[in-house]
Amino acid sequence: MKFTATSFAMATAVAALGTAAFAQDLPAPVKARQGQFNILAINLGILGDMARGKAPYDAEAAQGAADTIVAVSMIHEAPLFPEGTSEMDIDGTRAKAEIWDDWDGFAEKWSGLGQAAASLQQVAATGQEALGPAVGQLGGACKACHDTYRAPE
């Protein structure tokens, strides 16, 4: 069996989701969303390291990571964010209550992540020089949401 970058990314995603799901005694939707964000972080790290030259550029691995980020960005968020799962309601999450006070704004930020992910997906396999700006755009989309809807550590 050939173990490709895509299969590695998927295996990593499953492992991250499984780790998050069993790490704490949290409601299933919170475990799932934390696993989702772990998958995003792992793949963004792969791409960021390549963009900064901390890891050798590998077109197949870059495309696999970008494809995974796009797939995760397509997840419908509502079931992962039921009311009563903010950091004010339960320990072990950093989701701010502002998510539910401004669901439309939160959904808009999530859509922005999807748009940035799609742009990254288009250039991931074209070379290291294309990664930097696209990874920066994706990071900006993450930050835009975190600044408003995620509590600090």
What tens digit of pLDDT does each residue of 13-58 get? 555 555 444 456 899 999 999 999 999 999 999 999 999 999 999 9
* pLDDT tops 90 at residue 98: yes
- Cβ-contact 144, 49 below 8 angstroms: no
Domain boundaries, the chain: 5-149
The response to whether 146 counts as a known ligand-binding position is yes
Task: Classify domain 5-149 by CATH number.
Answer: 1.20.120.10
The response to whether 76 counts as a known ligand-binding position is no
* Residue 5 CA, distance from chain mean position: 17
Q: Which two tokens stand for residue 16?
A: 């991250």
Rounded CA separation 33/131 (Å):
26
The response to whether 87 counts as a known ligand-binding position is no
pLDDT at residue number 6: 47
Q: Higher-confidence residue: 20 or 151?
A: 151
